[in-house]
Amino acid sequence: MNIEVWSDIVCPFCYIGKKRLEHALEKFPYQDKVTVEFRSFELNPNAPIHHEGDYVDLLAKKYNTSREQMIEMNQQLTDQAKEVGLTYHLDRVKPTNTLDAHRLLHFSKKYGKENEMVVRLFDAYFTEAMHVADHETLVSLAKDVGLDEVEVKKVLVSNQFEADVRQEEQDAQDIGVTGVPFFVINRKYAISGAQPTEVFLEVLEKVWNEEEA
């Protein structure tokens, strides 16, 4: 069974959804038969690398709500993250463009480090409030998961893997993905959003039974 996960590094629901899927797989008796691959999706391909101003105000403007309501919404999201073992500091995150982070993920895939790299990027963004478009930061994060510093620098100063990112974004468009996280199983079944663990497990079992029948 193959699960493709379209997600973005700056999507809080994507990390929560990833953890819920993992919790479902822990309960799935055929987890050793499952491969999970991450696919690129930029929530805002035109996002600037550097944002001016307060992040909460930025979100409040985006969603046309008050600062107070946005703080409350962020707290609810932080509580959801905590339920799956994650620590979010949404008041401190540094919004940015994620193209280079996605290119780095494609590079990490060459060395079998994709999952470690995506986790490191999520933690850097949501927990440690790091700037995940800054090249020095990306090199440091890549080193944390055992990737070669010199090779990573070469990738970042080039446009390597940009075509791969664009292709996966086109694939998402072709199959009707409009938001993330979006999970596709065997290119036949889809789960949209950070669904509860029980929903993931139910779909996994349904797909397995249908495919093995």
**86 close to 141: Cβ distance less than 8 angstroms:** no
Contact 184, 3 (CB under 8 A): yes
Task: Return the number of other C-beta atoms located less than 10 Å from residue 32's C-beta.
Answer: 7
What is the number of other CB atoms lying within 10 angstroms of the CB of residue 147? 22
Q: What are the E-state strand segments in the chain?
A: 2-7, 35-40, 182-185, 189-192
pLDDT of residue 213: 62
Rg (CA), the chain: 17
d(CA 43, CA 39): 13
Q: What percent of the chain has pLDDT over 70?
A: 100
Which stretches of the chain drop beneath a pLDDT of 70? Answer: 213
The candidate with the shortest Cα–Cα distance to 36, out of 78, 7, 56, is 7
pTM: 0.96
What per-residue confidence (pLDDT) applies to 62?
87
